């Protein structure tokens, strides 16, 4: 557990929670990234500009953090093969839309409202994530 960083994790998590609250207060929307970004695939007139703005803000976030004097964390991709990245990306894209949410929409926003669907979905993706890493690292030894 030498990489355990509870303080920065808590501060970062609280900022994510703050953005979820602000998006509800101002725009009346749930801060679910897969839903916001996925809703751009079939754009609806009048509904897509705020989605695009949110995604662009998200992309700009780390750059703003650097501009404010923040230090980027080390970024490593343990799985960096095209096959691994493409299969993972397809599963994340299709799966989050089929399940109606991801770590933010279900895991933070839905769980905070004690939504039964979000609690079940969060259990499903956490379990699948734990199982996948166990299989890849400890059974296949990759």
Partner 1 sequence: MNKIISAFVIGIIFGIGLTIAQMVNPAKVLSFLDLAGNWDPSLAFVMGGGAGVAAIGYRLVLRRPRPILADAFQVPTRTDLDARLIIGGGLFGIGWGIAGLCPGPALAVLALGRSEAMIFVLAMVTGFALFALYDRVRMKSQ
Per CB under 8 A, contacts with partner 1 among 44-63 are: 49-51, 53-63
**Exposed, middle or buried, 13 (CB in 10 Å: 0-12/13-18/19+)?**
exposed
Query: Residue 39's Cα: distance from chain center in Å?
Result: 15
Q: Which of residues 101-130 bind partner 1 (CB under 8 A)?
A: 102-104, 106-113, 115-117, 120-130
For 141, the token pair is: 């030894």
Contact pattern for partner 1 over residues 80 through 99, marking x by CB under 8 A? x-x-xxxxxxxxxxxxxxxx
Q: Give strand ranges (E) for the chain.
A: none
21 is an interface residue for partner 1 by CB under 8 A? yes
The smaller minimum CB distance to partner 1, of residues 45 and 98, is found at 98
Give me the 27-46 binding string for partner 1, x by CB under 8 A, dash otherwise: xxxxx-xx--xx--xx----
Kindly tell me which of 45 and 99 has the beta carbon lying closer to partner 1.
99
Sign of CA dihedral 110, 59, 15, 5: positive
């Amino acid at each position: 557990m030498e990489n355990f960083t509870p303080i920065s994790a808590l501060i970062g998590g609280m900022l994510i929670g703050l953005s979820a609250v602000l998006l509800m207060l101002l725009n009346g929307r749930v801060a679910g990234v897969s839903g916001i970004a996925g809703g751009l695939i079939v754009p609806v007139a009048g509904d897509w500009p705020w989605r695009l703005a949110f995604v662009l803000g998200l992309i700009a976030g780390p750059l703003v953090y650097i501009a404010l004097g923040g230090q980027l964390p080390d970024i490593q991709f343990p799985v960096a093969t095209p096959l691994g990245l493409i299969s993972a990306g397809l599963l994340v894209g299709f799966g989050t839309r089929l399940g109606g949410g991801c770590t933010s929409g279900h895991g933070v926003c839905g769980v905070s409202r004690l939504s039964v669907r979000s609690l079940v979905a969060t259990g499903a993706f956490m379990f699948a994530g734990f199982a996948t890493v166990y299989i890849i690292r400890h059974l296949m030894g990759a």
